[in-house]
Amino acid sequence: MDDRFNTIAGWTLFGGIVALGLSTLSAHYFLADKPERPEKMGYAIAGVEPEGGAGAAVLEPIANRLAKADAAKGEAIFAKCKACHTIDQGAANGIGPNLWGVVGDETAAGRGGYAFSDSLKSKGGKWDFARLDEWLTNPKKFADGTKMSFAGLADPMDRANVILYLNSKGSNQPLPPPEAMPVAGAAPAGGTAAAAAVVGDAAKGEKVFAKCQACHTIDQGGANGIGPNLFGVAGDAIAEGRGGFAFSDALKAHKGTWDQATLDQWLTAPAKFAQGTKMTFAGLSSAQDRADVIAYLNSKGGKLTLAGPAAAPAEAAPAK
């Protein structure tokens, strides 16, 4: 009986020791979460961009990723940042600074007197979208000596999503227009056309424009309504003129002209293109509808040479 008791006691004790050892180990393991975690982490929070790796895939420009990014997904990713950052207006600095309004703001300045590293301070300039993308890819690579001990977000869409989320918190900077992506090889002959190369049909676009007529006139000299008259808008300056129409600051913040790409982005999701826009229109989800309506806009006093086969006159289409 005694023997058995000792055996049981022995195993219990052993079990305790093992458990103790494990908890110590795991405590050590989870130190990886703390700011002073070792350079080599027990697990990857997120991998680091493969450096000069073979077959480096073409990175989609941040503007293009932002155009399809999702702030709600970004909020979920922000869980990784919360160990060190608050985001709400007026919230306290922690290990890292409060990030309210950081998009478009000075790099490593202000933030309630947060003590930034000299490394980040030496960068100067502002946090625009491209710079945030670079920073969040690999903070140490952006500013070796930074206090932000965070491996980075390897997934380009994760970065776009979280940046869009940051932008929704006190910044609301206008999103940059997407860039045309170089397509390998020549235009697909008769193949499935890439979205950017969708050929617009002005006649079909006129039908699509029925959706816009509640707010817009299009003929020359037409009155402004809820939205501005759109005669000659294709190729014209963004949010300017139009008989003194009172544009939102959100749209006015976009400089430049309405070219095919910006119109396409705008009509995909107006509120995403210019957060805070007065155009309460969900957008046209069909690339074909957008191409058609852009061709129609352009036929009404526009000055764009529409890209792709759209530029060719319809008569030139091969007869069946």
User: Which tokens sit at 212?
Assistant: 């816009």
Q: Which long-range contacts (C-beta less than 8 Å, at least 24 apart) are formed by 114-119?
A: 116/147, 117/143, 117/145, 117/146, 117/147, 118/145, 119/143, 119/144, 119/145, 119/146
Nearer residue to ligand HEC within complex by CB, 129 or 281: 281
In a 10 Å sphere around its CB, with 0-12 CB exposed, 13-18 middle and 19+ buried, how is residue 157 labelled?
A: middle
User: By CB under 6 A, is residue 293 in contact with ligand HEC?
Assistant: yes
- Let me know: does 85 contact 94? Beta carbons within 8 Å: yes
Residues 156-195 that bind ligand HEC (CB under 6 A): 162
- Let me know: does 238 contact 217? Beta carbons within 8 Å: no
Instruction: From 4-12, 89-97, 178-186, 190-198, give the range in contact with ligand HEC by CB under 6 A.
Output: 89-97
User: By CB under 6 A, is residue 89 in contact with ligand HEC?
Assistant: no
Residues 205-234 that bind ligand HEC (CB under 6 A): 211-212, 214-216, 226-228, 230, 233
69 HSE (CA, 13 A, CB side): 34
Residues 243-282 that bind ligand HEC (CB under 6 A): 247-248, 250-251, 258, 267, 274, 277-281
- Gap between the Cα atoms of 100 and 115, Å rounded: 16
Nearer residue to ligand HEC within complex by CB, 12 or 89: 89
Question: Shortest gap between Cβ of 312 and ligand HEC (angstroms)?
Answer: 23
User: Which tokens sit at 25?
Assistant: 């180990």
User: By CB under 6 A, is residue 238 in contact with ligand HEC?
Assistant: yes
Question: Shortest gap between Cβ of 60 and ligand HEC (angstroms)?
Answer: 19
User: By CB under 6 A, is residue 81 in contact with ligand HEC?
Assistant: yes
- Gap between the Cα atoms of 134 and 261, Å rounded: 24
Look at residues 285, 280, 248 and name the one whose alpha carbon lies nearest to residue 268. 285
- Residue from 35, 222, 301, 309 touching ligand HEC (CB under 6 A): that is 35
- Let me know: does 103 contact 71? Beta carbons within 8 Å: no
Single-letter amino acid code for the residue at 238: I
Residues near ligand HEC, by CB under 6 A = 35, 80-81, 83-85, 95-97, 99, 102, 107-108, 111, 116-117, 119-120, 127, 136, 143, 146-150, 153, 162, 211-212, 214-216, 226-228, 230, 233, 238-239, 242, 247-248, 250-251, 258, 267, 274, 277-281, 284, 293
